[in-house]
Amino acid sequence: MENKIKILNNKYKSNNKIKLYTENLIKFITNQKEKIITIELIEPIDYIIGILFLTESNRYFKQNKINIHAYYMAYAFINLFNKIRLKMISSYKFNFDSISHFILSLSYNIDYLNSRIDSENRIKNKINNNFSKLIIEILPILTNLIIYNKNHEEENKDITINSKFCNEECYSCWVTNILSKFFYLLLQTSKFLGSGSYYDPNLLRLSEYYANIFFTWFKSKNNFLDNRIKLYENYLTYKNKLNYSLIELELNSETLDEIINYIDNEITNNLSII
């Protein structure tokens, strides 16, 4: 585990908050008796997703003065994103273990909250009262992430992002139907755990921006590049929209700045743009 932390610390360099979160995530995952994904299979970008979830959750914990952690769910999102990456690159086929793990992790976090927060706490009661409403909101999204593209698979079409089918339609497929929904699931779940709110339309907008930014990362990382300049310009558009919206909604933070800068450096280096 120490070697893994050392390697990732070198990867993150001066990103102090990312380093700290990563170390804590590795310790948490290592201590889990049953693992949905092992440390050896988790890549740096997967940890970034877990850190994004923890950052958003902690925002609402602080606002509502709830002293719990969200590492169960961070691990679940790390697993989901890892599998989505494999699906986008090599047509990985999900099994329903990921859905089970997600729901169990959410339940563990609710149990953890109930064991630590006073029964008269207003936010705790709101979370418990709205839990079924959250499940109704997110379960179709979670299921869709896992079974999406089934029709293409039945037609024996390769719709990975490096395939001949990956044109504008493919972009819409991955960004609109996979990544946007994934990030909405992440942002909405994090807000629910800290506030009891199970729907926020502003998160749909942010999810679209994150989706486009991470799609650019996928394309740049795997050298599936038709037009570097166009891809980079599209990325800059959505990065600026994300930063503006975070400021407008008063959701910006130092940790989010580190995350965005980390992705920015990766994309810039991958596209060889200085």
Q: What is the pLDDT of residues 105-143, one digit of tens each?
A: 999 999 999 998 888 899 999 999 999 999 999 999 998
Mean pLDDT of the chain: 86
DSSP symbols for 4-66: HHHHHHHHHTT-HHHHHHHHHHHHHHHT-SS-SS-GGG--HHHHHHHHHHHHHHHHHHHHHT-
Handedness of CA 66, 179, 20, 38 (dihedral sign): positive
- In which band, very low, low, confident or very high, does the pLDDT at 15 lie, cut at 50, 70 and 90? confident
Domain 2-270 has CATH 1.10.600: yes
> Which residues make Cβ contacts (< 8 Å) with residue 207, sequence separation at least 6?
180, 181, 182, 183, 184, 187
Amino acid 204 reads L
136-152: average pLDDT: 78
- Quote the DSSP letter at residue 165: T
- Measured between alpha carbons, how far is 195 from 197 in angstroms, rounded to an integer? 5
- Measured between alpha carbons, how far is 120 from 108 in angstroms, rounded to an integer? 20
Q: Which of 23-32, 99-108, 219-228 has the lowest mean pLDDT?
A: 219-228
- Taking each helix axis as running N to C, give the angle between helix 254-270 and helix 228-248, from 0 to 180 degrees, rounded to the nearest 10: 180
Q: Which of 81-90, 159-168, 197-206, 237-246 has the lowest mean pLDDT?
A: 159-168
Q: Which of 92-96, 239-243, 261-265 has the lowest mean pLDDT?
A: 92-96
- Measured between alpha carbons, how far is 202 from 198 in angstroms, rounded to an integer? 12
In contact, 207 and 195? CB cutoff 8 Å:
no
182-206: average pLDDT: 96
> Which residues make Cβ contacts (< 8 Å) with residue 102, sequence separation at least 6?
76, 80, 142
Query: How buried is residue 52: exposed, middle or buried, by Cβ count under 10 Å (0-12/13-18/19+)?
Result: buried
- Measured between alpha carbons, how far is 215 from 45 in angstroms, rounded to an integer? 12
In contact, 188 and 198? CB cutoff 8 Å:
yes
What pLDDT is stored for residue 151 in this prediction? 46
Q: What is the pTM of this model?
A: 0.90
- In which band, very low, low, confident or very high, does the pLDDT at 146 lie, cut at 50, 70 and 90? confident
The tokens 């166009």 sit on which residue?
Answer: 230
